[in-house]
Chains A and B, each alone.
Chain A
Amino acid sequence: MPEAVQTTPGAGKPLPIAPKPFAPEDEVSLREALKRCSPSTFEAAIQFRKTGNAEHVGAVVIGVIERFVEPDLRVKLKDADDDIRLVEDLGIDSLTMMEIVILVEDVLQLTINNDELRNLRTVGDVKTFIDCKIRGLPLPKPTKFLPIEHIGSVMPIQPPFLFLNEASVSSTAANGKYKITGQEFFLQGHFKDNPVMPASIMLEALGQLAVLFLLEGAPTEQGKVIGAHTIFFTGCEGVRAHRICRPGDILTLSIKPKRMKSPLATFEGSIRVGQEKAVIAEEITLTFLYVEAAEQSAPVHGNVPAPVESPAVAPPLRVAMNA
């Protein structure tokens, strides 16, 4: 297919899509293909096919997914954010995924390879993936599930000040878990005979997850990486603690980038314990720098404390990212 996007890594400038002129018979077949989708899906598809404007792609993709989700689960899709999971939340199995792919391919006139599908876990993954294909951008990195060994090997922060047990990182978000063991050294004093996880440490844990995102998930330019030792805290806004967290609680942490332009990356973050909201941070901002990939070849080793580097301007509320 001439419309197919060249996505081979390192292939240089991606090829933009040159849509075929949209003929009346195309509208008929498009209407037939989307007959079980909402009218707005059809409208978005028509707009995309006529103009090639990638803004309409999200609506088409969501409309097609909705059409394949059992009616009683569709409400979830309406209210949900991009984190809603295809398999676990929407009941989409791999065969349904293929049905979705074939219809999307047909409607948007593109070709999706099997190996590109394996990494699509959430609605957001699908949207981003299709968007990249349409715009001819490099495909996002797949969601990675990182065990503690991996986290320890890449993070500049090390025990006893590392507050992540496991994490998953995609190009659009990161999620992690930390179990408060009760053995944390600071709980001896915070508080006397009453161990409570300090809110500042919980903010620190969110910041650590954001560091992990920058190192493992954030999109970078060809040949560049974000330097592990260039990341520091600069500020935060709208931080609220909603729940006292104690030994035995499992913190479920999530962060999502809101803005990212070197040297600043701003995230929103939240911590839950089970279904209960524990901490909300409207904004956490970190600084970072791109370095040549070769410079960062040696990973940080688990037991070697990372060298301390002070940022040029010490922020007022300094959460010691690299301490």
Chain B
Amino acid sequence: MPRVFITGLGFITSIGNDAETVSRNLRDLRHGFELFPPFQKPDIPCKVVGTIKGFFTDSTDPEDWTWPSRYTIKRETIRSMGPNVLYAHCAMMQAVADAKLTEADISDPQVGLYAASAGSPYLLHYHHERLVKAGVMRCSPLGIVSSIVGTLNFNLVASFKIQGASCGFSSACASSAHAMGFAYDDIILGRQKRMFVVGAEDGNTDAILPFAGMRTLSLQGDPDLASRPFDAGRDGFVGTGGGAVVVLESEDEVARRGVRPYAEFLGWGQGSDGYNLAISHPDGNGLKLAMERAFAATGIAPGEIDYVNAHATSTLIGDVSEARALRSVFTEASSRLAVSSTKALTGHGLSLAGAMETGFCALAMRDGYTPGSAHISTVDPLCEGIPILRETRVGGPSIAMKNSSGFGGANVALLFRRP
């Protein structure tokens, strides 16, 4: 059976714009939340966002944007981007350097890229408004490709000259976890030897605020309390954006290039709730199925798992569903099993979440710690019965599970092993 490894990571997140900073903040449980200036208005009830620092993307003209000077991006590359693409582009450059990839290692028919983002609602709105107000022929020729879902893969495939498999995934908050799973399959099936998995979101007003209508956003005005998965006082998720890139490679490639992987990607499973388009199944049936399938696919027993990076977003219903699914699966759990949600620190990255949190699991394995679930003062009684880790534990997980759930009741479970 071929094997798949994680060999490179890149992060533009609310808790850091490089792997070292991200890892330090995960270990120290330092969050990336701020009172988001555009939300500080009487008619906007939610106030806090996991903000991206060091970037300015608050203009409909990408040539107005600024980004850290370590990234050189040409006008012809930036002009077709939404903010999510800029974040991912920078994360991609980090991941390429981290995995020590040459241009020939990237642009090769055996190398592909799977991406997940909701596109750029911000730019979509702007371009559509221009269509209506300025007229059809005064629209930017790049309006479509910079804003629709798919802009992430369109841009990155062109910018990085990807030749192998490429497409986008849209299962909402499970999207980049799905991308991870199918990228794994492509390598296992021998179709590709290396895959970039990219998740990204704008994380600005237009990307986050529509969730207020669903009553799923936290209305907490205190950045230290807004995101607290599994806590009895949680009142919704905190939105965030950014970009994360995970480089997956076949065992042969890892050996040929002589690189040290962060983790082995053992396999994955998915299952759907078949229940409601937006509300997770009360017993987490789809997630339970996803986890069982991940175990079946990898031959790993639940008792071997010592860390679950939960999907838990800090919503009332979702966290309970996941807790129930975990309880039903981990009936014979290891005494070392720890569950935490790093969304307590980053906020919920939507399509970005699966890839970003996979990156967190890989960092924890490499740097030897298990991140705690921050901001809990009282565990919700409905979430009891699972070993929620409240403080960071010294010692990295040897086998970790990453759960992701999205709208439509789509659920994914990914399994990783420390090499």
Contact = CB atoms under 8 A, between A and B. Distances in A.
Contact of A106 (B75, B138, B141, B142): B138
Nearest to A72: B74
Contacts of A314: none
Contact of B138 (A36, A96, A102): A102
A102 B141 contact: yes
Q: How would you classify the secondary structure of chain B's contact residues: helix, strand, loop or mixed?
A: loop
Contacts of A309: none
Among A102, A105, A106, the most chain B Cβ lie within 10 Å of the Cβ of: A102
A36 B76 contact: no
A106 B139 CA distance: 11
Interface string B131-146: 0000001101110000
B140 A102 contact: yes
A83 interface: no
Nearest to B75: A70
A91 B74 CA distance: 13
A68 B137 CA distance: 19
Contacts of B137: 102, 111
B74 A95 contact: no
A197 to B, nearest CB: 43
Q: How big is the B interface, by class?
A: 10 to 19
Contacts of B75: 68, 70
A95 B142 contact: yes
B63 to A, nearest CB: 6
A81 interface: no
B75 to A, nearest CB: 6
A87 interface: no
A96 B142 CA distance: 9
Interface in B37-80: 63, 74-76, 79-80
B76 A96 contact: yes
A95 B76 CA distance: 10
A70 B138 CA distance: 23
A68 B79 CA distance: 10
Of the four ranges (under 10, 10 to 19, 20 to 34, 35 or more), the interface on chain A belongs to 10 to 19
Interface in A56-108: 68, 70, 91, 93, 95-96, 98-99, 102, 105-106
Given A36-B63, A70-B75, A70-B76, A99 B140 contact: yes
A95 B137 CA distance: 14
Contacts of B80: 95
For A70, A91, A93, A95, the residue with the greatest tally of chain B CB atoms inside 10 Å of its CB is: A95
A26 to B, nearest CB: 15
Interface string B73-105: 011100110000000000000000000000000
A98 B142 CA distance: 9
Contacts of B63: 36
A44 B405 CA distance: 57
Contacts of A98: 141
A70 B74 contact: yes
Contacts of A91: 76
A144 B74 CA distance: 34
Nearest to A98: B141
Contacts of A93: 76
A317 B130 CA distance: 64
Interface in A94-131: 95-96, 98-99, 102, 105-106, 111
A96 to B, nearest CB: 7
Contacts of B142: 95, 99
Nearest to A96: B76
Nearest to B142: A95
Interface in B115-153: 137-138, 140-142
Contacts of A106: 138
A109 to B, nearest CB: 12
Nearest to A36: B63
Nearest to B145: A95
Contacts of B79: 99
Interface in B139-193: 140-142
Nearest to B134: A106
B145 to A, nearest CB: 9
A36 B74 CA distance: 15
Nearest to B138: A102
A76 to B, nearest CB: 16
Nearest to A101: B141
Interface string B219-230: 000000000000
Nearest to A71: B75
A20 B120 CA distance: 37
Interface in A204-259: none
A120 to B, nearest CB: 16
B78 to A, nearest CB: 12
B411 to A, nearest CB: 39
A265 to B, nearest CB: 39
A95 B75 CA distance: 13
A259 B417 CA distance: 79
23 contacts: A36-B63, A68-B75, A70-B74, A70-B75, A70-B76, A91-B76, A93-B76, A95-B80, A95-B141, A95-B142, A96-B76, A98-B141, A99-B79, A99-B140, A99-B141, A99-B142, A102-B137, A102-B138, A102-B140, A102-B141, A105-B138, A106-B138, A111-B137
**9 closest cross-chain pairs (CB), A and B:** A98-B141, A95-B141, A70-B74, A95-B142, A102-B138, A99-B141, A36-B63, A70-B75, A70-B76
Interface of B: 63, 74-76, 79-80, 137-138, 140-142
Given A91-B76, A105-B138, 16 more contacts: A36-B63, A68-B75, A70-B74, A70-B76, A93-B76, A95-B80, A95-B141, A96-B76, A98-B141, A99-B79, A99-B140, A99-B141, A99-B142, A102-B138, A106-B138, A111-B137
